Amino acid sequence: MRAWYKYLMGRFWLKGSFRIRPGTPGAYLAAALLVALASFIRWALGFVGTPLLPFTAYYPAVLFAMYIGGLGAGAFAALLGGGVGWLAFMPPSLFAPGLNLEIPIYALTCALLIWGAESYRRLASHLQNEENLRKLAVDELAHRLKNKIATIQSILSYQLRDQPRLRDDIAARLGALSETDDLIMGAQGRGARLRDILVIELKPYDLSRVSMSGHDIALPPRLALTMALLVHELTTNAAKHGALSSTAGTVSILWSVAGGTLSIEWRESGGPPGAKPAHRGFGLRLLSRALDQFNGAAELSFVETGLVCKLRVGLT
């Protein structure tokens, strides 16, 4: 018995569900066990109240056998249940009043159950295959994207070998996009969570110096990539010139959603006083232009306590 149990467990498929590959001995064994259980239940219920009809307990057995072992197991359970029910629970005369249609009704009902369950099983299998194909495509795209980013970084490292500062800045931005791509692919291409993007960018600067407050919100892929670049620019600026350049500096990030608009406030304190830069670099131009495609805007304030940046992004 233990050997059969191990065999059955080894034949389970479809992760997280109790199913056995159709056509295997384990599928038919499971069907037989279900019929045996149904027979015991039918026999036990015969002592309670009005006796049940001969085949009542076998319908669930057929359905479960279909679910667990497929078409063959369901048909086997129907035939075996019909035979056991006829021999064990039918009256002596097949044509007793009111019972002459029991076997045809049982056969018709089992046929409908098997047909319906098999149709559902085929549909579920088709959907599972499509889902597997989609996951495979997403994984392949992620792999190719990583390779392209690595190639671009190699080209930039060579071409800008005499400009290390510019080379490192561009490589860092590509790295931010790559890490956000990992988040998006981890969510099967559905996007990335804002908090995860913030944590990835700010983790190297000690998260104990950063406070985050807001509901957990998932951003669609295109917006997630844009947000990753914006957060990277804010983080880099804070590390070079703002709160994160000082051991006592802190960053507070608040966000909320109202009316289909995401509002984010980035507030620095404890670092050097905020000073408006003499010229608009790439980071400032990115902040002002990147959100246009989302009907958003960025507002920067260089106050005494540090930079305050307010972002507004349309989610619809």
Token pair 């045809």 is at which residue?
Answer: 104
Inside any domain, residue 144? no
Angstrom distance (rounded) from CA 157 to CA 189: 29
CB atoms within 10 A of CB 92: 5
For residue 52, the tally of other CB atoms under 10 A from its CB is 14
Determine phi and psi for 289, rounding to 5 degrees. -105, -30
Task: State the pLDDT at residue 10.
Answer: 46
**Residue 207 falls within a domain, yes or no?**
yes
> In terms of residue numbers, what domain contains 257?
160-314
Cβ atoms < 10 Å from Cβ of 243? 26
Long-range CB contacts (< 8 A, 24+ apart) of 44-53? 46/89, 53/102
**Do 193 and 254 fall into the same domain?**
yes
Domain termination residue (choose one: 85, 109, 128) = 128
Neighbours of 67 (CB within 10 A): 18
In a domain, 279, yes or no: yes
- Both 81 and 178 in one domain: the answer is no
pLDDT of residue 4: 47
In a domain, 123, yes or no: yes
Residue 200 contacts residue 227 (beta carbons within 8 Å) = no
> Is the CB of residue 52 less than 8 Å from the CB of residue 45?
yes
221 in a structural domain: yes
Asked whether residue 194 falls in the same domain as residue 299, the answer is yes
Does one domain contain both 174 and 258? Answer: yes
Whether 190 and 87 map to the same domain: the answer is no
Q: Which two tokens stand for residue 96?
A: 């007793």
Question: Average pLDDT per run of 10 along the chain, which is 316 residues long?
Answer: 46 51 84 89 73 78 85 88 83 55 83 84 78 65 67 75 78 69 63 86 84 90 83 85 87 92 92 67 66 85 87 86
**pLDDT at residue 17, as a whole number:** 52
Q: How many domains does the chain have?
A: 2
- The answer to the question of residue 133 being in a domain is no
In a domain, 285, yes or no: yes
Q: Do 113 and 194 belong to one domain? A: no
Domain boundary among 73, 105, 128: 128
Q: Residue 227 and residue 218: Cα distance in Å, rounded?
A: 12
The confidence score (pLDDT) of residue 276 equals: 67
Same structural domain for residues 63 and 21? Answer: yes
The model's pTM is 0.50
Would residue 72 count as lying in a domain?
yes
Is residue 201 domain-shared with residue 294, that is, in the same domain?
Answer: yes
CATH number of 184's domain = 3.30.565.10
Domain closes at, from 128, 151, 176 = 128
